[in-house]
Amino acid sequence: MKKILILSANPISTSHLRLDEEVREIKNTLQLSPNRDEFQIITESAVRVDDLTRFLSHHQPTIVHFSGHGSGTDGLVLEDNSGNVQLVSTQALAKLFDLFQSQIECVLLNACYSESQATAIHQYIDCVVGMNQAIGDKAAIKFSAGFYTALADGRNYEDCFQMGCTSIDLQGIPESLTPVRKIRRRRYQTLQATNPAESDKNDSINKDNKGWQNRSVSIGGSVTGSAIQTGNSNTANINFKQVSLPAPASVNIETELNALREILAKLESSDRRKIDNAFEDAQEELKKPQPDKNEVGKALERAFDYAKKAEGFASAIEKLQPHLTKTTAWLGKNWHKLLNLVNLTI
């Protein structure tokens, strides 16, 4: 059963929204579906900042739907104890959803100018919908009706999003391009769906490896020269190899990122989702006409921060070295520090 938690806030000093009508439309849509027993709707109104953690913890939803006002990069508009405006920042929201990423599949922010929050939350949640500008009451309600009509029909979140936009369009409302979605599919989910036998094999290998001690040492920052690896009476010298970087123009960055991701995907890590999220963010940035190399670098750094804690990371270093060398060349001098992660220096 999918639990849908609908949160709403309309502080007394803000313009009145037809939030009750939106909730009623969502309920009616799901209740009329032959699959209605597969969904549970939970509503919480006049939501305060302090309520967020409590509601997510208590209800443990699959989908979180927020209806109300947004204020762009400043955050979402909630209420204080007196019913007045209290903002919750974009960064705080992202950190909150990081704590619940194992249970929440989708977050829908049906609020004006909420794309910034959607982007931040998407670091941790696979599907997030936000609005890239102001959206009127009627368009917001029609989007919700279309989204949940598709959901009730058993469609995936991409189809739900498209159905929501189409529902706006069918009404002749010129706001069908206002909703924006951030959607990814996990690499391990794709593997399980297409090749269950291979997935089972990998699970078996991972279980067999659990008996081994992880004796790797993670080295970051600007360390150069050599380091010492210790553990259970074993000592080994780790020498940093000096490398020359290729010309940035010669690097196919998409190929190199895919190679890095494939190598790290074989590691056993409790932070697998976070590693995958980071690579998705990097690859999403590359799709832009003029990708920001620093954004790609930050995402890659985040992926390695998690990956280097994984059992077996030390044994993957040699395979990672050529690909991270080329990637670092493409990123530029600001990201030469990434080489240290795989015992390289320039």
Burial 32-42 (b: 16+ CB within 10 A, else e): ebeeeeebebe
Strand 85-88, strand 76-79: pairing: antiparallel
Q: Report whether pLDDT(148) > 90.
A: yes
Q: What confidence tens digit (pLDDT) does each residue in 285-318 have?
A: 999 999 999 999 999 999 999 998 887 888 889 8
Q: What is the pLDDT of residues 171-217, one digit of tens each?
A: 999 999 999 999 986 543 444 444 544 444 444 434 343 333 332 23
List the single range of 21-25, 72-76, 329-333 with lowest mean pLDDT.
Answer: 72-76
Task: Say which residues have a Cβ less than 8 Å from residue 29's Cβ, sequence separation at least 6.
Answer: 145, 148, 149, 152
> What pTM value is reported for the model?
0.58
pLDDT higher than 90, residue 282: yes
DSSP structural state of residue 121: H
State percent of the chain over pLDDT 70: 84
How far, in Å, CA of 33 to CA of 153, rounded? 7
Tell me what pLDDT residue 229 has. 38
Q: What is the CA radius of gyration of the chain?
A: 23
User: What's residue 43's pLDDT?
Assistant: 96
- Please provide the distance, in angstroms rounded to a whole number, between the alpha carbons at the two ends of the chain: 54
Torsion of CA 224, 226, 232, 234, to 10 degrees: 160
| Mean pLDDT value across residues 133-140 | 93
- Do 120 and 70 contact (CB within 8 A), yes or no? no
Pairwise CA distance, residues 32 & 14, whole Å: 33
Model confidence pLDDT, tens digit, residues 204-215: 434 343 333 332
Q: Is the pLDDT of residue 240 over 80?
A: no
Percent of the chain at pLDDT exceeding 90: 68
Average pLDDT of span 133-137: 93
If one looks up domain 2-183 in CATH, what number appears?
3.40.50.1460
**Residue ranges of the chain that CATH labels 3.40.50.1460:** 2-183
> What residue spans of 5-89 are helical by DSSP H?
19-31, 49-59
The strand ranges marked E within the chain are 2-8, 39-44, 63-68, 76-79, 85-88, 106-111, 127-131, 179-183, 226-231, 234-239, 241-242, 344-345
pLDDT band at 239; cut points 50, 70, 90 = low
